[in-house]
């Protein structure tokens, strides 16, 4: 399993509009067929630059799926956000490989 993580800091002046837009955007990214699911979280750290920061984590079965997203879909979908919000949001991307998942052990009572 691989994760394509997009961390975005959103200026408060566009925050509400961005929240509506990002839900549609996430659906469009998932519709490309390169990802299995997505999770959106708010980063609970106050940034010196202000704004609100989010992390959108797209799960992919393989690293090749992420690379194919870049090759076939990313440019257009990224461009949509840049055109709409320009310098009011700052995004950076991280690619992650899940090595192992851990869960609490069940205790026998």
Q: Is the pLDDT of residue 51 over 90?
A: yes
pLDDT digits (tens, 9 = 90+) for 66-83: 999 999 999 999 888 889
Please give the CATH topology (third level) of the domain spanning 2-97. Answer: Alpha-Beta Plaits (3.30.70)
Residue extents of the structural domains in the chain? 2-97
Return d(Cα 13, Cα 21) in angstroms, integer: 14
pLDDT of residue 109: 64
Q: How far apart are CA 5 and CA 91, in angstroms?
A: 10
Question: For the stretch 58-68, what's the b/e string if a residue is b when 16 or more beta carbons lie within 10 angstroms of its beta carbon?
Answer: bbbeeeebbbb
Name which of 34, 19, 96 is nearest 8 in CA terms: 19
pLDDT of residue 26: 97
Query: Counting Cβ atoms within 10 Å, is residue 89 exposed (0-12), middle (13-18) or buried (19+)?
Result: buried
CA angle, residues 25, 28, 29, in degrees to nearest 5: 90
């Amino acid at each position: 399993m691989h994760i394509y993580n997009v961390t975005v800091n959103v200026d408060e002046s566009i925050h509400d509009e961005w929240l509506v837009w990002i839900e549609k955007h996430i659906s469009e990214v998932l519709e490309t067929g390169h990802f299995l699911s997505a999770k959106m979280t708010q980063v609970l750290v106050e940034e010196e630059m202000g704004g609100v920061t989010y992390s959108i984590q797209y799960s992919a079965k393989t690293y090749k799926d992420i690379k194919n997203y870049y090759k076939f879909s990313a440019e257009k979908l990224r461009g949509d956000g840049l055109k709409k919000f320009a310098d009011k949001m700052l995004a950076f991307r991280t690619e992650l490989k899940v090595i192992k998942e851990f869960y609490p052990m069940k205790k026998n009572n």
